[in-house]
């Protein structure tokens, strides 16, 4: 890659910018047209090397203490053995039945082709042996291929997986346009069959006639697997198990292992599932799940160092997961099957949960939304994230309430960077929002007033009475000390506020905007700095911050605001610190 250097002048200073064909990848002064703020330079194209420390430790690099009496499992063991270090069991399933309440199971290095459940009423810890790579693998090697015309066939394929294109087993796809999972261009997305040739995923097609190089067809009637690429001299693997680990025992722990290549259907929710309270999952890598990698459907879960890669639909999912904490996550490259952006696909989606924190990590390169809070999530904290290069919106708060979004980098997403939709009581402090469609978009739609809207049927939390804060209306939102720059050239604004019902202006919404810095590429890109509803009709466009201030009374401070005590505590900064944008780059 050829890199040259270009100088840019800002406020009389020459700033050197590394430039590469296709875009700026180095430091660039992005705010030269907002001299009041005098912000520091920001990285306008988030660099992959800054993401290297996110997520799980590499499989095989953890080192958890082995307590006395731990049950040992090894691929060369025997389920008739004692489970001691010198006589290990062979399967994790046997160890779960043998381990005492509160006991620890230690997996020695190797590959385990299993689907297991820690049952209700059992509290167990499952962990990798120190320094040893442990994989739960849902695939099997497929051999005995024979040429059949222009394709190759392996007989004896008897696996049947649920292909329901919704969360309800046996149901068809939705009829409402907003609740259709499948893109007509990718009709096989919900079929969980998966095949790899030398580790390269093959694309599933709907009939034998469509099989060609790089594709496969599961001929269920003929009990055959058809492959379009010559398997001679290559390793071919196919998913033959549906789920890896279900944690149904309260207080259980799973840590230090890798999980890959399971044929998990959409209704099964996740390849790894948390279904009991107070479960800890730590240093877990989940790759190549047919639908969703990790799912949490219970309260008080603690997820630390989670890597979710190349899931067919969604990297991570949570629902009814009150008091959920996710630390140092990496959710990347998910939705390989091209599900529609809504109702669900992409990096992480969290619904119907009260009190959730996502702290540190990277959500990147997902086909769909990056991090999406939807349908009555309340008490949200998002800090220290890089949400970058997702094809749809980066970070979304939709039909939610009471959120703090602080010290995040949200950049290069295909649609909105930070989208706040029908959500109230939000504080947006010290984020860097750059090169998205609209960098920051606040929008009110009709759903709060329309009882026939699908969200009223699916979005309410039936476990609790409605909270007065959960209005499903834009309201009481503070936007302070953010760097907002370089929205996509075809976007209408950097900061965009709209009420599509045309019932309220910004003052009635209770919006406070102050201490932020803005920059457009030029006077026409994007078309306005701020779009703001000054009345109940169409919003008004403002070309610069001074005009916005004079017309609305917003952005009165010419310097960053002092950091409030509670947000300073979240970010581990001194109270009263003055800074613009994220501390993280």
pLDDT in tens, 525-570: 888 999 999 987 778 999 999 999 999 999 999 999 999 999 999 9
Confidence of residue 28 (pLDDT cuts 50, 70, 90): very low
Sequence spans of domains, the chain: 3-50, 139-239
Give the pair of three-digit tokens for residue 580.
Answer: 């613009």
Confidence of residue 463 (pLDDT cuts 50, 70, 90): confident
Alpha-carbon gap, residue 18 to 28, rounded angstroms: 8
The pLDDT of residue 285 is above 60? yes
Q: From the CB of residue 454, how many other CB atoms can be counted at a distance below 10 Å? A: 14
Q: What is the pLDDT of residue 9?
A: 29
Closest CA to 123 of 252, 245, 246, 248: 252
- 139-239 has CATH 3.40.50 classification: no
pLDDT in tens, 485-533: 988 777 889 999 999 998 898 999 999 999 999 998 888 888 899 999 9
Q: What is the pLDDT of residue 24?
A: 29
pLDDT in tens, 329-384: 999 999 999 999 999 999 999 999 999 999 999 999 999 999 999 999 999 999 99
Alpha-carbon gap, residue 172 to 91, rounded angstroms: 37
Q: Using alpha carbons only, what angle is made at residue 76 by residues 71 and 81, rounded to the nearest 5 degrees?
A: 45
Instruction: Summarize the confidence of residues 58-66 as an average pLDDT.
Output: 98
DSSP characters for 379-445? EEEEEEEEEE--SS-SEEEES-EEEEEES-EEES-SS-SEEEES-EEEEEES-EEESSSSSEEEEE-
The pLDDT of residue 450 is above 60? yes
Q: Using alpha carbons only, what angle is made at residue 574 by residues 573 and 577, rounded to the nearest 5 degrees?
A: 90
Handedness of CA 162, 264, 288, 313 (dihedral sign): positive
Query: Would you say 375 and 455 are in contact if contact means Cβ atoms under 8 Å apart?
Result: yes
Query: Would you say 269 and 245 are in contact if contact means Cβ atoms under 8 Å apart?
Result: no
Q: Mean pLDDT check: name the lowest of 27-36, 151-160, 188-197, 421-430.
A: 27-36
Alpha-carbon gap, residue 45 to 43, rounded angstroms: 6
Closest CA to 259 of 237, 242, 284: 284
Q: What percent of the chain has pLDDT over 70?
A: 89
Q: From the CB of residue 101, how many other CB atoms can be counted at a distance below 10 Å? A: 9
Q: Mean pLDDT check: name the lowest of 6-10, 39-43, 393-397, 569-573.
A: 6-10
**Residue listed under structure tokens 């044929």:** 263
Alpha-carbon gap, residue 433 to 482, rounded angstroms: 7
The pLDDT of residue 36 is above 80? no
Q: Using alpha carbons only, what angle is made at residue 311 by residues 145 and 238, rounded to the nearest 5 degrees?
A: 15
Residue 162: helix, strand or coil by DSSP?
Answer: coil
Residue 571: helix, strand or coil by DSSP?
Answer: helix
Specify the pTM. Answer: 0.91
pLDDT in tens, 306-324: 999 999 999 999 999 999 9
Instruction: Summarize the confidence of residues 86-90 as an average pLDDT.
Output: 98
Q: For all residues of the chain together, what is the average pLDDT?
A: 89
Q: Mean pLDDT check: name the lowest of 7-16, 71-80, 96-105, 525-534.
A: 7-16
pLDDT in tens, 377-436: 999 999 999 999 999 999 999 999 999 999 999 999 999 999 999 999 999 999 999 999
DSSP state of 525: B
Give the pair of three-digit tokens for residue 61.
Answer: 């690099």
Q: What is the pLDDT of residue 523?
A: 81
Residue 49's φ and ψ, nearest 5 degrees, are: -65, -25
Quote the radius of gyration of the chain (alpha carbons, Å).
Answer: 25
Q: What is the pLDDT of residue 23?
A: 32
Query: Would you say 400 and 421 are in contact if contact means Cβ atoms under 8 Å apart?
Result: no
Closest CA to 343 of 271, 275, 281, 392: 392
Instruction: Summarize the confidence of residues 12-29 as an average pLDDT.
Output: 30
The pLDDT of residue 74 is above 50? yes
């Amino acid at each position: 890659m050829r890199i040259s250097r270009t100088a840019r002048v800002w406020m009389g200073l020459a700033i050197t910018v590394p430039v590469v064909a296709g875009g700026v990848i180095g430091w660039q002064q992005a705010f030269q047209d907002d001299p009041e703020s005098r912000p520091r330079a920001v990285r306008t194209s988030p660099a992959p090397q800054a993401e290297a420390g996110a997520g799980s430790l590499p499989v095989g690099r953890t080192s958890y203490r082995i307590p006395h009496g731990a049950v040992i499992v090894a691929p060369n063991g025997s389920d008739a053995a004692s489970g001691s270090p010198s006589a290990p069991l062979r399967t994790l399933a046997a160890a779960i039945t043998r381990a005492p309440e509160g006991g620890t199971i230690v997996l020695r290095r190797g590959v385990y082709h299993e689907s297991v459940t820690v049952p209700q009423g059992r509290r167990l810890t499952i962990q990798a042996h120190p320094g040893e790579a442990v994989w739960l693998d849902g695939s099997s090697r497929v051999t005995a291929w024979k040429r059949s015309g222009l394709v190759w066939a392996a007989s004896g394929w008897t696996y049947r997986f649920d292909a329901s294109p919704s969360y309800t087993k046996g149901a068809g796809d939705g009829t409402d346009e907003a609740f259709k999972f499948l893109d007509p261009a990718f009709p096989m997305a919900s079929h969980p069959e998966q095949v790899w040739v030398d580790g390269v995923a093959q694309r599933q097609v709907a009939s034998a006639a469509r099989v060609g190089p790089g594709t496969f067809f599961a001929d269920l009637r003929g009990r055959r697997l058809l492959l379009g690429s010559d398997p001679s001299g290559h390793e071919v693997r196919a998913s033959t198990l549906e789920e890896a680990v279900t944690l149904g025992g309260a207080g259980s722990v799973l840590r230090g292992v890798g999980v890959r290549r399971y044929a998990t259907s959409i209704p099964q929710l996740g390849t790894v599932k948390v279904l009991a309270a107070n479960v800890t999952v730590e240093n877990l890598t989940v790759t190549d799940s047919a639908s969703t990698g990790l799912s949490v459907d219970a309260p008080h879960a603690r997820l630390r160092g989670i890597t979710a890669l190349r899931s067919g639909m969604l990297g991570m999912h949570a629902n009814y997961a009150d008091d959920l904490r996710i630390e140092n996550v990496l959710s990347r490259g998910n939705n390989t099957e091209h599900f529609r952006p809504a109702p669900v696909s992409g990096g992480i989606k969290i619904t119907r949960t009260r009190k959730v924190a996502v702290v540190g990590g990277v959500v990147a390169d997902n086909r769909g939304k990056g991090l999406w809070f939807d349908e009555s999530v309340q008490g949200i904290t998002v800090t220290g994230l890089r949400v970058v290069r997702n094809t749809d919106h980066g970070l979304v708060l939709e039909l939610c309430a009471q959120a703090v979004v602080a010290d995040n980098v949200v950049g290069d997403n295909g649609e909105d960077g930070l989208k706040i939709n029908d959500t109230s009581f939000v504080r947006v402090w010290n984020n860097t929002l750059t090169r998205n469609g609209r960098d920051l978009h606040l929008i009110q739609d009709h759903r709060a007033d329309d009882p026939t809207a699908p969200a009223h049927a699916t979005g309410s939390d039936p476990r609790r009475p409605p909270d007065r804060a959960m209005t499903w209306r834009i309201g009481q939102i503070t936007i302070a000390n953010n760097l907002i720059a370089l929205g996509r050239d075809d976007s209408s604004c950097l900061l965009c506020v709209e009420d599509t019902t045309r019932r309220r202006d910004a003052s009635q919404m209770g919006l406070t905007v102050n201490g932020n810095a803005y920059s457009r590429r030029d006077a026409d890109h994007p078309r306005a700095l701020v779009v703001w509803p000054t009345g109940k009709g169409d919003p008004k466009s403002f070309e610069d911050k001074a005009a916005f201030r004079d017309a609305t009374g917003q952005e009165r401070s010419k310097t960053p605001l002092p950091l409030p005590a509670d947000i300073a505590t979240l970010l581990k900064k001194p109270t009263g610190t003055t800074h613009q944008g994220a501390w993280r780059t």
